[in-house]
Amino acid sequence: MIIAPSLLAANFGRLEKEVARVNTARADWLHLDIMDGHFVPNISFGPEVVRTLRSESRLFFDVHLMCSKPAILLEPFAQAGANQMNIHVELGDATVTSLLWKIKSLGVKVSLAINPPTPISLARPFLPLVDSLLIMTVNPGFGGQSFIYEMLPKIQQAAAWRQERGLNYHIGVDGGVDFETAPECACAGADAFISGTTLFHRHNLTAAVRKMRKAVEGAATPPKPIRHKAS
């Protein structure tokens, strides 16, 4: 199980100290939200901030590009130290295909993100190519929003496809992930839990990460064995 605090909920006035909290919290990934004020109605930070934080942390950096033109940002974020980059399926099939291969060519893991209104079927053709699928459980742009429960069937579908097709991508959830919604996602098949407000706003981040890990590990159902049809 991957627990990934989302830096968007950190205190931006003391980012290095906030990253130091994550370094010692036994989290698995640090999720970094990049917003361009166009794909989403908010602006966050760019590659220079990621590069600066890279020298402060050995964590796996999971960069979430909520941007209309991610093609121009892939190299800068790869050079800044991203370990994985998430791009959005809403950019369209041709763009997504070229971005996925470009990310792979940079030696960075690739994740496909999908917004709440977008049918999960649009992600299906890309699943053999990705390391992770990121199911947005809020409309992206802001932290602290309420989890959209209608996304649970998408998680179940993504888990079913993973099982049926013998793939091993992570299924991540992002938005409104707290100590109650995370276990529900785990039960549906998610294994990567992006959480901003719930983790960062706790005084003791280490305890919060431990609590979330315990909650999702207790809720997860072991994968069913693949049934091969008799020929």
Which sequence positions are flagged as catalytic?
33, 174
- Return the residues of window 25-64 that contact Zn ion according to CB under 5 A: 33, 64
Site for ligand DX5 in 129-188 (CB under 6 A): 138, 140-145, 174-177
Q: Which of Zn ion, ligand DX5, none does residue 137 bind (CB under 5 to 8 Å by kind)?
A: none
- Shortest Å, Cβ 45 to ligand DX5: 12
Q: Which two tokens stand for residue 176?
A: 């409104």
- Chain-centre distance for alpha carbon 74: 17
Least separation, in Å, of the C-beta of 40 and ligand DX5? 7
Contacting Zn ion (CB under 5 A), which of 35, 53, 170, 174?
A: 174
Residue number with CB closer to ligand DX5 (78 or 182): 182
Residue 13: left (phi > 0), alpha (psi -120 to 50), or beta? alpha
Walk across the sheet containing 29-35 and list its strands: 2-5, 192-195, 170-174, 132-136, 109-114, 84-88, 60-66, 29-35
Each residue 99-128 as x (binds ligand DX5 by CB under 6 A) or -, in order, gives: ------------------------------
Q: Is 18 exposed, middle or buried (0-12, 13-18, 19+ CB in 10 A)?
A: buried
Q: Return the closest-CA partner of residue 74 out of 90, 61, 87.
A: 87
As to burial, measured by CB atoms within 10 angstroms (0-12 exposed, 13-18 middle, 19+ buried), residue 178 is middle
Copy the structure tokens of residue 29: 């990934």
Identify which of residues 174 and 191 has a Cβ nearer to Zn ion in the complex: 174
Please report how close the Cβ of residue 115 comes to Zn ion at its closest, in angstroms.
11
Structure tokens at 129: 């190519």
Choice between 33 and 191, CB closer to Zn ion: 33
Q: Among 95, 112, 99, which residue's Cα sits nearest to residue 174?
A: 112
Residue 21 binding ligand DX5, by CB under 6 A: no
Q: How many residues bind ligand DX5 (CB under 6 A)?
A: 22
Q: Closer to ligand DX5 at the Cβ: 139 or 163? A: 139
- Name the site residues for ligand DX5 (rule: CB under 6 A): 6, 8-9, 31, 33, 64, 138, 140-145, 174-177, 194-198
